[in-house]
Amino acid sequence: MTFINYAAREINCKLVYYGPGLGGKTTNLQCIYAKANPQAKGKLISLATESDRTLFFDFLPLEMGTIRGFRTRFHLYTVPGQVFYDASRRLILKGVDGVAFVADSQAVRMDANVEAIYNLKENLRTQGYELKNLPYVLQLNKRDMPTAVSVEEMTRTLQSQGEPVFEAVATTGEGVFNTLKALARMVLIRLKKGQTQGRATR
Ligand SMILES: Nc1nc2c(ncn2[C@@H]2O[C@H](COP(=O)(O)OP(=O)(O)OP(=O)(O)O)[C@@H](O)[C@H]2O)c(=O)[nH]1
Ligand SMILES: [Mg+2]
CA 42 distance to own-chain centroid: 17
Q: What pLDDT was estimated at residue 201?
A: 45
Residue 46 near ligand 1, beta carbon < 6 Å:
no
Q: State which ligand 1 atom lies nearest to the alpha carbon of 48.
A: 23
Residue nearest to atom 15 of ligand 1 (CA): 24
Q: What pLDDT was estimated at residue 8?
A: 79
Contact 2, 199 (CB under 8 A): yes
Q: Give residue-wise pLDDT tens across range 13-42.
A: 999 999 999 999 999 999 999 999 999 999
How far CA 126 is from CA of 61, 130, 131, 132, 196, in Å, comes to 26, 9, 12, 15, 18
**Beta carbons within 10 angstroms of residue 71's beta carbon:** 15
pTM summary value: 0.94
- Phi then psi for residue 69, to 5 deg, are 85, 0
Which residue out of 16, 25, 27 has the highest number of ligand 1 atoms within 8 Å of its CB and is therefore the one to mutate? 27
Mention every residue, 6+ apart, whose C-beta is less than 8 A from residue 25. 17, 18, 19, 54, 58, 78, 79, 81, 102
Q: What pLDDT was estimated at residue 1?
A: 59
Residue 98 near ligand 1, beta carbon < 6 Å:
no
Residue nearest to atom 32 of ligand 1 (CA): 142
Q: What pLDDT was estimated at residue 195?
A: 56
Residue 88 near ligand 1, beta carbon < 6 Å:
no
Partners of 61 in the beta sheet? 75
Q: What share of the chain is helix, strand, coil (3-state, %, to 5)?
A: 35, 30, 35
Q: State which ligand 1 atom lies nearest to the alpha carbon of 30.
A: 15
Residue nearest to atom 27 of ligand 1 (CA): 22
Residue 170 near ligand 1, beta carbon < 6 Å:
yes
Cα 25 to ligand 1 centre (Å): 7
Q: What residues in the chain have per-residue pLDDT under 50? A: 197-202
Q: What pLDDT was estimated at residue 198?
A: 47
